[in-house]
Structure 1
């Protein structure tokens, strides 16, 4: 398995289709470096293409999930390389688009990604978790859409994804104030689905949910993720048309036959890898 500077992939349980992807710079609270933005899409792609992987759990090593973008990285990106303002702006735009693509890789990954958040989830950490499919956190987790305090308009996906998760009114209040909010408030806002009393409890909860999803038809799971993401930007009629087309290609699979057979025989279904 490939080694990364900023990440670690761990198949914790032998023969389990649930793999753990860790942000792995605990000494600086998993701040996001340039290496992260090149490594993250590669790691997700490798997990996506691995037929032994059904579900990915994303979490952070150390005391915090993610403290945001590394300020050294931010400073290096903003330094002009030319006296030509037009060329400097064009280069900066390409830099930003590249960073955005690293986060969007979470949505491009066919396999569901579940975020387990403890400690700080700030700035770029919010960009990451809003692109995940399911989010859980601990009671002591805290969040902040911090970019406005660094004189930046958040540009890696939070302003696009957060409103559909917590509602426009809540999203703009959090983004304009940059205020810190707790795991319990994150649950009340709908940013996370569950709050756990400790990291150990969250890890066990994550494992149980991930294993449950991994036991389902991989065609149905990947299809559900793909259709939900595409339908987010469609009208109801367009979304219905899209899922009809999707199911016309996948519905008549061996998975459907196996699911019906297992139900009638009162046993657990066994599906082929994807």
Structure 2
């Protein structure tokens, strides 16, 4: 999808604010909003269908270097829309073909969040209000997470008599540790921004939504000034190494460096330092 097509795309449940290619203050930061405020941004089939398309469009947009994920209205995400679960054909007497169809539906929903990891560009979640159930699945697939002090989190699926199946049980232990992950998953208890920071789910907690927006904006714009090739490499190597032994991870990063270390971005850094100025990097 080209940039003009992306701007004209009619999203049902998302809103995208693109950086202005001609305005330096926009700094290559795109804002992606879950946009169902009347439903506290509960995740419906439209969102699951649109998220990977939106991420792919932002990933291919050369003016975008960092993506900030936010929720419109009072909450970040109230979890999966219960209507989506009610309509899912997974009752115990369903025949094999219906079960296979449901399995493909779950795989599609999983892929919507995996798209954040597959995106070459960093994705930062800025969380306010409630972030429940599938909302936690979603933020664990983001690269960085920040929240307000009054933000509320819950791995809520156990209270719905289901097993979280969109990524929390796979990603959360690597972020907060097994002990915290199993505690949150088995109890379904609600915890606030301060505890989220203590256990490592978020990087920082801010006093208000305005401060969250301001500080995350500053961070995103600073990140957008870095070498796109370097940022892409850091994200790729860290994600790949998460699932490898140290030796395998070293092999992977050696291959990456062989391919990308000697680049025009490195040449620009050397030149900028010699000229005592900030480096300016080309678009991807």
Name the CA distance, whole Å, in 1 between partners of 2:137 and 2:94. Answer: 31
Partner of 1:90: 100
Once the two structures are TM-superposed, the CA of residue 91 in structure 1 deviates from its matched residue by 1.4
Please, which of 200, 205, 225 is the counterpart of residue 190 of structure 1?
A: 200
* Cross-structure match for 1:213: 223
Aligned position for 1:7: 14
Where 2:147 maps in the other structure, the secondary structure is strand
Superposed CA offset, 1:157-183 (max 9, x none): 000000000000000000000000000
In the alignment, structure 1 segments of 5+ residues that lack a partner are none
SS in 2 for 1:179: coil
Aligned partners of 2:39 and 2:112: how far apart in 1? 20
Distance 2:90 2:245 in 1: 42
Task: Confirm or deny that 1:128 pairs with 2:138.
Answer: yes
Q: Give secondary structure in 2 for the equivalent of 1:78.
A: coil
Residue pairs, 1:19-30, within 5 angstroms:
19-30=30-41
SS in 2 for 1:5: coil
1:146-161 equivalent positions in 2, closer than 5 A: 146-161=156-171
* TM-score calculated relative to the size of structure 1: 0.97
CA distance in 2, matches of 1:121, 1:181: 10
Which residue is equivalent to 2:89? 78
TM-score, normalised on structure 2? 0.94
CA deviation after TM superposition for structure 1 residue 265, in Å: 2.3
Aligned to 1:109: 119
- 2:178 matched to 1:142? no
Secondary structure, counterpart of 2:256 in structure 1: helix
Counterpart in the other structure of 1:264: 274
Q: Distance in 2 between matches of 1:238 and 1:263?
A: 34
Is it true that 1:50 corresponds to 2:50 in the alignment?
no
* Residue 226 of structure 1, aligned match among 212, 231, 236: 236
**CA–CA distance in 2 between the matches of 1:115 and 1:32?**
16
Counterpart in 1 of 2:4? none
Distance 1:122-1:184 versus aligned 2 partners, 3 A rule: same
Deviation at 1:263, TM superposition (A): 2.1
Q: 1:31 aligns with which of 32, 36, 42?
A: 42
Query: 1:12: how far off?
Result: 6.1
Question: Post-superposition shift, 1:101?
Answer: 0.6
Secondary structure of the structure 1 residue equivalent to 2:131: strand
Residues matched between the structures, number: 273
Residue range with higher mean Cα deviation, 12-21 or 118-127: 12-21
* Cα distance, 1:84 vs structure 2: 5.5
CA 1:95–1:261 in structure 2 vs 1: closer, same or farther (change >3 Å)? same
Aligned partners of 2:149 and 2:192 also within 8 Å: yes
